[in-house]
């Protein structure tokens, strides 16, 4: 599963500490056209507590993007 660049994911709040081995996630994304490759690009990650994180570019440009990121960081959630 691929996501954005490491720099983009760090800006979104996703760090190595957030994803310990065994962390349960739901990943929405797009599978490779060649299904034998077993590869995909992730779009959204949903944690077991319902928190979602966009894995693509540093911001969607949607209204409220900055506020959602600040609230997630304040809760201590990746």
For 30-75, the pLDDT digits (tens) are 887 888 888 887 888 888 888 888 887 545 555 566 677 777 777 6
pLDDT (mean) for 7-18: 80
**Residue 48 burial class via C-beta count within 10 angstroms: exposed 0-12, middle 13-18, buried 19 and up:** exposed
CA distances from 71 to 11, 21, 32, 66 (A): 14, 25, 33, 9
Instruction: Output the pLDDT for position 61.
Output: 53
Instruction: Output the pLDDT for position 63.
Output: 58
pLDDT (mean) for 10-34: 83
Rg of the chain on CA atoms, in Å: 13
Angle at 12 between CA 8 and CA 13, to 5 degrees: 120
Instruction: Output the pLDDT for position 68.
Output: 72
Cβ(40)–Cβ(30) under 8 Å? yes
Evaluate if residue 16 carries a pLDDT over 60: yes
Q: Residue 40's Cα: distance from chain center in Å?
A: 14
Domain ranges in the chain are 6-74
């Amino acid at each position: 599963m691929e996501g954005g660049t490491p720099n983009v994911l760090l800006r979104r709040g996703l760090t190595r500490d957030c994803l310990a081995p065994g962390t349960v996630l739901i990943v929405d994304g797009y599978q490779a056209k060649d299904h034998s490759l077993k590869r995909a690009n992730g779009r959204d990650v949903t944690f077991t507590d319902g928190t979602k994180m966009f894995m693509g570019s540093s911001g969607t440009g949607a209204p409220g993007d900055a506020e959602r990121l600040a609230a997630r960081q304040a809760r201590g959630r990746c």
